[in-house]
Structure 1
Amino acid sequence: MVASGTTTPGAGPPRPTDVRAPTVAPAADPHDSGPEGRPLVLLAYVCGFTMVALLHGLDETLGVVAGVLNIVFGVYFCRHLGFAVAAARWAENDMLAADVGLHSYTPSVAVFVGCKNEELVVDGMVTALLALDYPADRLTLVVVDDGSDDTTGARLDAWAAREPRLRVLHRPPGSGGGKSGALNDALHLVDAEIAVVFDADHEPDPTALRRLVRHFRDPVVGAVMGRCVIRNGRDSQMASTVFVDFLSGYLVNEYGRQALFELPAYGGANCAVRMSTLRGLGGWNPHTVTEDTDLTLRVLMAGQRVRYDLSAVDFEEAVVSAQRFWKQRYRWARGHQKCFRDYWRPLMRSPHLSLVEKVETTLFLLVYHVPLLSGIGVLLTVLRAFGIGDLPLVALLPLSMLLFVGPLAELSVGLLIGRVERRSAWRLLGFLPAFALSIWITTRAYVDGMLGRPYTWVKTSRSGATSTVRVDPPVVAPAGAAS
């Protein structure tokens, strides 16, 4: 028996065909022989460097490389500094004035959550969804059990049996498409004006929906991102590092992109997208492992905009070990780098973006290439220490400083705006090993992507961190009871 409120793929209302948003199709399958596999480009890099070194000498060649890196890091330093100044100047004031228009606009909303083996966090997530402050007749809650082989499906069925507001979709094991595939299947079940996505470990603030959807009064807005806050920063040194990282990323980096360029990104969760825009773009791209970055680019190239609301808060669980950090950031790096390869040409041709906007979006796309370049910079410094590459020390000083000062400014401002306790400042030291690990992760992701090595979406493992919401889970049926 299928529990009350549950369904299977293919059920529900047909997909609307009245779509007015311009179409920007998702990128092709990454396993196709095309943009993902570029081993010849890597070979060209090596051959080109070797030929130049033979013609002009190793010292001069390394000097040119160091000079180029100084320029790149200088650009990113100015960008980081600009974001930090903008956040320090305006972010707190914006948070104080964030309660405008929360009740005057209530479009129909469908909340989507994909779950795969999430028994440790699913009860807290459902409890938080049911506590959302939004008119019940304007809200649909759809949770997708993506072929789980633990008690996730049974727990969801138990919730749906007693909560008519909740609909559960069970996908068969091996359905494919990862998170994008799960969300696209859910898309067929509803006919709403706005789609809002949360992850299984997320617990949104009750007002999050109202804060996200109010931006869609503006017809040019295609998507809106909220702010994610780590709730388990004390669970481990790695979780503490991610806590500070998120303060920087959401309170400073994304706020800065919004304040200076009006170009924030659509994130993977705690985000909303206009349903007509989403359907017009063909849904989420099942051939990418970072569906959020992919959709950001397609929304921008379709002539619409993304907005960021730092008051739409959502609490999530940070990874607690280096192994989980590796898997998560490798997926982010692999997907982000692929998005750059897939979209930089159409991005440059887009008539909807100014030159400055194209440059900033390109810098955003190259963020997961910068640690790779940082690794080259560190290598140059090591070579100089052993007398290889006859460069004056002063030429390497800007390189070494710019590797860290810009991100450090963002992290520091994030701690200030977040008003964390004083001793949290010492958490900045945790970024030294995390930064070294990021260099290896992004380098490995880049080489694997250029060589066309197969990679599919991999979920982040959960630890079941203490919830910010009191959870009263329903009685769970035995495993296998749900169909």
Structure 2
Amino acid sequence: MAGRRARRREARAHWVLLAFVLLVVACALLLEGFTRHAVGRSGTSAESASCVPAPDTVRAGGPVIRIDGERTESAALPAKTVALTFDDGPDPTWTPRVLEVLARHGAKGTFFMVGADAAAHPDVVRDVRDAGHEIGSHTYTHAALGDVPPWRADLELSLTRNVLAGAAGVQVRLLRPPYSSVPAALCGGTWEAVRRAGQDGYLTVATDLDSKDWTRPGADAIAAAATPRDGRGAVIMFHDGGGDRAQTVEGLDLLLANLEGQGYRFTTISAGLGLPPEPQAAGRAKVSGIALIWAQRGAHQFTVAMAWVLTVAGALTVLRLLVLVVLARVHVRRVRRAKRRRNRLPEVWDPVSVIVPAYNEAAGIEATVRSLVASTHPDVEILVVDDGSDDGTADIVAALGLPGVVVIRKPNGGKASALNVGIARARHELIVMIDGDTVFEPDAVHRLVQPFADPAVGAVSGNTKVGNRRRILGRWQHLEYVIGFNLDRRMFDVLQCMPTVPGAIGGFRRTALTGVGGVSEDTLAEDTDLTMALCRTGWRVVYEETALAWTEAPESLRQLWRQRYRWCYGTLQAMWKHRRAVLERGPAGHLGRRGLPYLFLFQVLLPLLAPVVDVFALYGIAFLDPWRTLYIWTAFLLAQVLTAVYALRLDREKLGPIWTLPLQQFVYRQLMYLVVIQSVVTAVLGSRLRWHRMHRTGSATDQLATAQQPPG
């Protein structure tokens, strides 16, 4: 009881961990989208010229605006005083060049920084501060404050204030709203945002002169537009970020040279108005800012990494599909050549022992046994090993009284134990193993043993079909069997690294089985463990596509979960047990150099990354270019559909279930990668998974007549 409670706690803990990881991933992507202007950035202000204007005292006043309660004041710079201001930075290329020009002329400026760019380049922010220049806020994402709701405007200013505190240790009090210009242009939502910011202590800085450097009219035009008239003081707007600012740098140099000769002084906004310097930031603001900088940096690096992972995963997926199709074609040609070669050799008519391990298989055992008795292969011994069933499985078989059928009763010990008992009792060299819920085609046994004409073959995998396919879950599994399992087996056959002969239909030499000590009980995937052991001892394991067996697939998501959880966990156990195959030489090492890396990459690693990839794909649809993301997804789906068509044709199946393939991507695929995550976590925690037996209903037997047509 205590052990079960511990397992439940572990399960809950790692699902909580997965949810936490996905939440962190989602937050990282949202932060990246927000800071990289993919989420909610305004390109231009949407306010029209007819919006409600600011008060006349603001529109007719100076460019620096203070709001204190209901009182609004504005100020302008004195004569012969210029405040050079720079928007849209910091930029790692152009801000340092602007600083060089200012230093050469002994000028000071005020830099209105975009918070996201300040977080990306905190070293440039510190360079601006260390050179004695003033720093102001230009919002966090260059959002038009008049076009966003108040909470978003407050967030833009708060994040920018924190990040500048973390980067330079200053508490900014100057604000320039993006897309603003002269005071007379302040109106509507922008003015309301300025008024709210004033209540929080900000001084809003508009401009007297716009250099229009953002239009790149040429250095001379920039300098001319920024030159004050009649010795007046002015706040002049330039840009040190947001694009190529080569003309800005050149025009600024020309302007400073011209105005120096006219006796102008170049200062910051605060110094020009006689205000005290910007205060130092509080400790809490610094800590928050540093945390935000690191969070943004981490989010960006994670997003870049995920873009590469998604690219590599997509390339590997496409490559896998191509390899599967190419090698399937190679397998078809080899099979044809082998059949011609077999025509020159005696057909295999050796007697066969069929072992049926059965535990509570009352629902389908009769159909299984009757299909074996109907086999066209002569001299078939059928051993039904009842593994302590309590539903009368053995009694059902015994009551049939069919010739050649032997019932062996034993205490419950697991499937591997039942198979070993059957192997010990079998009388023949050729042994076929079949699950208790599986129905053989009449010629399945005969076709399955034909590859044993080659003395190098130690085991043969048959072709498993899903019998109960009327519902969508059954059709999904049918597609998985045909596309995944059977195409994979063709590839493994060609590469001589077959990792699994399925328990539903597999043929073996007794010599090969005894050579590896029989069926091991070390793992829950006894079929995979046994097959890998045979490969490592040098036996060839091949795939016989014409040997057909019909099995009952799980009919509920819960049953499917339990089955695949056992399969996946057992496969991980087998991979770990046979990991030394990677170092082995010759044909015995093909499993380690080909099969195990393939299993690890496509059945472990990529499924582990799948949840994060899915979140990233949703991010792309929501915040990047949705059409590009959808095009890529559609291309992958089309590749899968074409592969499915080819696989179904190879297996002589109708194409009807293809329509369920897109839906499979939204439910079935997610279930399968969650199974992998659960299995890997269970293995890492060192938990021992118990045998999970699927509840049988006999539905595959009921639908067998339809399934064998096969269905559409």
TM norm structure 1: 0.75
Equivalent in 263, 266, 275 of residue 497 of structure 2: 263
Task: State the SS of the aligned residue for 2:421.
Answer: helix
Equivalent in 278, 298, 301 of residue 536 of structure 2: 301
CA drift of 1:348 comes to 1.0
Provide the residue aligned with 2:678 in structure 1. Answer: 444
Equivalent in 214, 217, 225 of residue 453 of structure 2: 217
CA drift of 1:422 comes to 4.9
Distance 2:438 2:690 in 1: 23
Distance 2:405 2:693 in 1: 23
Provide the residue aligned with 1:361 in structure 2. Answer: 595
Q: Which aligned pairs between 1:269-308 and structure 2 lie closer than 5 A? A: 269-308=504-543
The structure whose Rg is larger is 2
Q: Which aligned pairs between 1:57-456 and structure 2 lie closer than 5 A? A: 57-68=298-309, 70-87=311-328, 91=332, 94=335, 104-136=347-379, 139-159=380-400, 162-172=401-411, 175-176=412-413, 178-234=414-470, 236-259=471-494, 261-264=495-498, 265-344=500-579, 346-353=580-587, 358-366=592-600, 367-369=602-604, 370-382=606-618, 407-432=640-665, 433-456=667-690
CA drift of 1:397 comes to 8.6
CA contact (8 A) 1:80 1:253 kept: no
> What amino acid sits opposite 1:269 in the alignment?
A
Deviates more, 1:146-155 or 1:423-432: 423-432
Distance 2:337 2:562 in 1: 37
CA drift of 1:402 comes to 8.7
Q: Which aligned pairs between 1:461-472 and structure 2 lie closer than 5 A? A: 461-465=695-699, 466=702, 468=704
Deviates more, 1:205-214 or 1:412-421: 412-421
CA drift of 1:128 comes to 0.4
CA contact (8 A) 1:244 1:414 kept: no
Distance 2:326 2:533 in 1: 29
CA contact (8 A) 2:386 2:410 kept: yes
Distance 1:299 1:357, change over 3 A: closer
CA contact (8 A) 1:337 1:365 kept: no
CA drift of 1:198 comes to 0.7
> What amino acid sits opposite 1:436 in the alignment?
Q
CA contact (8 A) 1:124 1:469 kept: no
> What amino acid sits opposite 1:330 in the alignment?
Y
Distance 2:636 2:655 in 1: 25
After superposition, give the CA deviation of every residue in 1:41-67 in whole Å (9 maximum; x if it has no partner). Answer: x9xxx9xx9xxx889734224423542
Distance 1:238 1:208 in 2: 26
After superposition, give the CA deviation of every residue in 1:149-169 in whole Å (9 maximum; x if it has no partner). Answer: 11212102213xx23411111
Task: State the SS of the aligned residue for 2:362.
Answer: coil
Distance 1:425 1:452, change over 3 A: same
Provide the residue aligned with 1:7 in structure 2. Answer: none
Task: State the SS of the aligned residue for 1:411.
Answer: helix
CA contact (8 A) 2:462 2:548 kept: yes
CA drift of 1:274 comes to 1.2
Provide the residue aligned with 2:97 in structure 1. Answer: none
> What amino acid sits opposite 1:109 in the alignment?
V
Amino-acid identity (%): 26
Distance 1:285 1:243 in 2: 29
After superposition, give the CA deviation of every residue in 1:258-282 in whole Å (9 maximum; x if it has no partner). Answer: 24x2333322221111111111111
Distance 1:151 1:181, change over 3 A: same
Distance 1:217 1:117 in 2: 36
How many pairs does the alignment contain?
411
CA drift of 1:251 comes to 4.4
CA drift of 1:359 comes to 3.7
CA drift of 1:426 comes to 0.8
Distance 2:384 2:626 in 1: 57
Distance 2:304 2:419 in 1: 49
CA contact (8 A) 1:237 1:320 kept: no
Deviates more, 1:287-296 or 1:97-106: 97-106
CA contact (8 A) 2:621 2:627 kept: no
CA contact (8 A) 1:285 1:295 kept: yes
Distance 1:279 1:420 in 2: 37
Distance 1:438 1:395, change over 3 A: same
CA contact (8 A) 1:145 1:171 kept: yes
After superposition, give the CA deviation of every residue in 1:241-295 in whole Å (9 maximum; x if it has no partner). Answer: 1112222135422223324x23333222211111111111111111211112111
CA drift of 1:223 comes to 0.7
Task: State the SS of the aligned residue for 1:87.
Answer: helix
After superposition, give the CA deviation of every residue in 1:163-198 in whole Å (9 maximum; x if it has no partner). Answer: 3411111122xx32x211110121221242121111
CA drift of 1:375 comes to 1.8
TM norm structure 2: 0.52
CA drift of 1:435 comes to 0.6
Task: State the SS of the aligned residue for 1:312.
Answer: strand
Distance 2:315 2:682 in 1: 28
CA drift of 1:434 comes to 0.5
Task: State the SS of the aligned residue for 2:582.
Answer: helix
CA contact (8 A) 2:331 2:493 kept: no
CA contact (8 A) 1:80 1:409 kept: no
Distance 2:632 2:573 in 1: 27
Provide the residue aligned with 2:33 in structure 1. Answer: none
Distance 1:356 1:271, change over 3 A: closer
Q: For structure 1, list consecutive stretches of 5 or more residues without a partner in the other structure.
A: 1-38, 471-483
CA drift of 1:404 comes to 5.3
After superposition, give the CA deviation of every residue in 1:82-124 in whole Å (9 maximum; x if it has no partner). Answer: 2124436764995899695597222332111111111110110
Distance 1:118 1:92, change over 3 A: farther
CA contact (8 A) 1:128 1:469 kept: no
Distance 2:415 2:406 in 1: 18
> What amino acid sits opposite 1:463 in the alignment?
T
> What amino acid sits opposite 1:125 in the alignment?
T
Provide the residue aligned with 1:480 in structure 2. Answer: none
> What amino acid sits opposite 1:284 in the alignment?
V
CA drift of 1:418 comes to 4.0
> What amino acid sits opposite 2:305 in the alignment?
V
CA contact (8 A) 2:347 2:453 kept: no
Distance 1:395 1:350, change over 3 A: farther
Task: State the SS of the aligned residue for 2:431.
Answer: strand
CA drift of 1:334 comes to 1.0
Task: State the SS of the aligned residue for 2:347.
Answer: coil
CA drift of 1:364 comes to 3.6
> What amino acid sits opposite 2:406 in the alignment?
R
Distance 1:394 1:358 in 2: 41
Distance 1:268 1:364, change over 3 A: farther
Distance 2:525 2:444 in 1: 23
Task: State the SS of the aligned residue for 2:459.
Answer: strand
CA contact (8 A) 1:202 1:317 kept: yes
CA contact (8 A) 1:208 1:313 kept: yes
CA drift of 1:135 comes to 2.2
